[in-house]
Amino acid sequence: MANYTLTTPLTSEDTKKLQAGDTVLLNGTIFTARDAAHKRLVDLIEKGEELPFDLEGSIIYFVGPTPPKPGDPIGSAGPTTSYRMDSFSPTMLKNGSKGMIGKGKRDQAVKDACVDYDGIYFGATGGAGALLGKQITSAEVIAYPELGPEAVRKITVKDFPVTVINDTHGNDLYQMGRAKYEVKD
């Protein structure tokens, strides 16, 4: 397991070197979207319409941040459970996105899409939203403001800490960790 510092947008060269269990500090622009926003984005893709941001090389953070305190760009910004995006993530990866950030396991279709499209599923530490919010230096709602905290935001991150859960090689950190402790006959 290795440590990396990467700047967005990511390339296949960036993602292919990552292995499940690696830790990464992300820098640059990432986008926020949860299930309601993902449905709208995938609908636009299926209709061949323009998205509110360029998917190529993008990372999408599954988060619904709290309102910022005065002087802060964002409030608490902890990851949400990722399985709610499972039906949308393969389409997002197929159309250029390179990564997702959330918490919890993903279904096989998402893992397969990570392999097929050089994508990465990163885990962020649940329960650490206030600390993660401090790594966000700017935040701007760019689509679907009526969704409130679930609106699509363009955020800038500095040394945002994540762990590779699913890599481009088909590895799954959750399965690897479990296998270490399973009783073998």
Q: What one-character DSSP code corresponds to residue 66?
A: P
List % helix, strand, coil for the chain (3-state, nearest 5).
30, 30, 40
Residues contacting residue 164 through CB under 8 Å, at least 6 positions apart: 18, 19, 20, 21, 22, 23, 24, 120, 121, 122, 123, 173
| pLDDT exceeds cutoff 80 at 17 | yes
Cα distance from N-terminal residue to C-terminal residue, the chain: 28
Token match 């409030």: residue? 75
Domains in the chain: ranges and CATH = 3-181 (3.20.130.10)
Give the residue numbers marked as catalytic.
38
Residue 183: per-residue pLDDT:
67
Mean pLDDT of 162-180: 91
pTM score above 0.85:
yes
pLDDT (tens digit per residue) in 72-84: 999 999 999 999 9
Mean pLDDT of 45-57: 97
Share of residues in the chain with pLDDT > 70 (%): 99
